[in-house]
């Protein structure tokens, strides 16, 4: 019972331990930015200055600082404070604003700044340079300590970055459970992105394409990838060619077609609205790609745990001859697995094209290895007949967390490859030891 529990949920604990480790090593001092910083500074000014304080707001011209200045000016004005000037630029702009206030005979009670602008030298010798302005307090956002790893934007970034690999890994899980392998998914991903871009550019109106036209173009691109998967499945089931050889050949064919169709260039004549799938966030502020990933995993879990097709897939991977003698349509099951894997690779290509607003034959490079790694780390046996969709999802997030954590701790890319290779080897070794 204990062994079964660890087998099913051991990777969850590994993932939680990794999250805890990277949370500890990235624990550092933080400062709020943007509108969150503006709310805090506004509250501090009202608490310390009382009613109608005279305030100078100083921010840089960066987008986050611009949001800080706009929100702070709005909140202070609403509370009755007098905003004598709002600076959005460089130290020289702050000096000019202070000189204007001094020339007009005004006085200051507070200078509201971000952490960066609060360190400007123009404010360090304030009394000597602007003696008639009084002794205003320099108020900046209060610091706090929190792990960089657990920042909401970082967690969403992890989920968004792993969405494509996790989606393609659904199909790879089906294939590996049947006892096969598919090396063509990375090339099909690139081919799908190129086909979607070309169809949108040449047939849907290019940069002026409608949502319906873009949807149709993407569906055709995904279906054509499914045709490639059907060809691979036919070669494997009808001619008994090893899946490794067939999918290796289709990896080269898919990549070659992607380069031929795109003429070695990126296809970028795509509307701005096309990024909705890859970059947009509508439901609970989750990226749309992540929502799609979760929906697909829920459907795959239902297929594998509640439907006859799922039992057939496990039976084929466990013992193909016994499954055939039991009446399982082995060839059709294998065809389903390879077609589903190709279709999901096509979906992944559309998502990448949406994220990067272009199609390119270079997309998907090495993705087949990352996808296989996610499946294996998630507990699916390379011998076939064993694996869970939930485990694959955990495996994908485990790899993403390791990569993200190493990036946050400034581990060089070469060392990251060594670590990921050892993780994959360790996952396979554990599978073998568990079977013994």
pLDDT in tens, 155-197: 999 999 899 999 999 999 999 999 999 999 999 999 999 999 9
Nearest to 92 by CA among 64, 63, 57, 121: 121
pLDDT in tens, 222-264: 999 999 999 999 999 999 999 999 999 999 999 999 999 999 9
> How high does pLDDT run on average in the chain?
91
Structure tokens at 226: 């499914």
3-state DSSP assignment of residue 54? strand
Which residue spans within 97-153 are E strands per DSSP? 110-113, 137-139, 144-147
Spatial separation of the C-alpha atoms in residues 77 and 401, rounded to whole Å = 44
pLDDT bucket at 7, cuts 50 / 70 / 90:
low
Nearest to 225 by CA among 274, 265, 258: 258
Show Cβ contacts of residue 77 under 8 Å, excluding neighbours closer than 6 positions: 83
């Amino acid at each position: 019972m204990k062994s079964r529990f660890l087998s099913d949920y051991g990777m969850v604990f590994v993932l939680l331990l990794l999250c805890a480790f990277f949370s500890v090593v990235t624990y550092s001092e933080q400062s709020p930015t943007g509108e969150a910083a503006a709310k805090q500074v506004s509250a501090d000014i009202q608490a310390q200055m009382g009613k109608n304080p005279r305030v100078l707001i100083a921010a840089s011209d960066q987008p986050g600082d611009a949001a800080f200045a706009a929100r702070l000016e709005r909140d202070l004005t609403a509370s009755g404070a007098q905003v004598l000037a709002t600076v959005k630029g460089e130290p020289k702009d702050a000096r000019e604003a202070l000189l204007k206030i001094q020339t007009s005979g005004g006085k200051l009670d507070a200078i509201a700044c971000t952490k960066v602008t609060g360190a400007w030298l123009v404010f360090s010798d304030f009394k000597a340079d602007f003696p008639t302005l009084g002794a205003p307090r320099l108020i900046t956002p209060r610091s706090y300590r929190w792990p960089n790893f657990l920042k909401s934007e970082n967690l969403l970034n992890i989920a968004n970055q792993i969405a494509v690999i996790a989606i393609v890994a659904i199909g790879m899980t089906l294939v590996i459970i049947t006892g096969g392998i598919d090396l063509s998914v990375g090339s099909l991903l690139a081919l799908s992105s190129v086909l979607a871009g070309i169809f949108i550019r040449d047939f849907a109106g290019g940069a002026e394409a409608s949502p319906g036209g873009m949807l149709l173009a993407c569906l055709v691109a995904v279906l054509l990838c499914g045709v490639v998967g059907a060809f691979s499945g036919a070669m494997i089931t009808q001619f008994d060619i090893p899946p490794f050889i067939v999918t290796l050949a289709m990896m080269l064919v898919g990549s070659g077609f992607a380069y031929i169709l795109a003429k070695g260039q990126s296809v970028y004549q795509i509307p701005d609205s096309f990024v909705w799938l890859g970059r947009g966030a509508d439901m609970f502020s989750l990226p749309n790609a992540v929502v799609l990933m979760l929906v697909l995993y829920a459907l795959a879990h239902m297929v594998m745990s509640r439907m006859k097709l799922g039992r057939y897939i496990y039976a084929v991977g466990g013992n193909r001859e016994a499954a055939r003698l039991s009446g399982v349509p082995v060839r059709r099951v294998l065809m389903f697995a390879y077609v589903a894997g190709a279709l999901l690779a096509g979906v992944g290509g559309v998502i990448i094209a949406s994220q990067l607003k272009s199609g390119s034959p270079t997309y998907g490079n090495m993705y087949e290895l990352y996808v296989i790694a996610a499946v294996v780390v998630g507990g699916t046996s390379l011998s076939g007949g064993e694996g869970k969709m939930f485990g694959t999802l955990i495996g994908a997030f485990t790899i993403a967390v390791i990569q993200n954590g190493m990036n946050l701790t400034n581990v060089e890319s070469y060392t990251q490859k060594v670590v990921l290779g050892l993780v994959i080897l360790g996952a396979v070794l554990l599978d073998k030891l568990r079977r013994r």
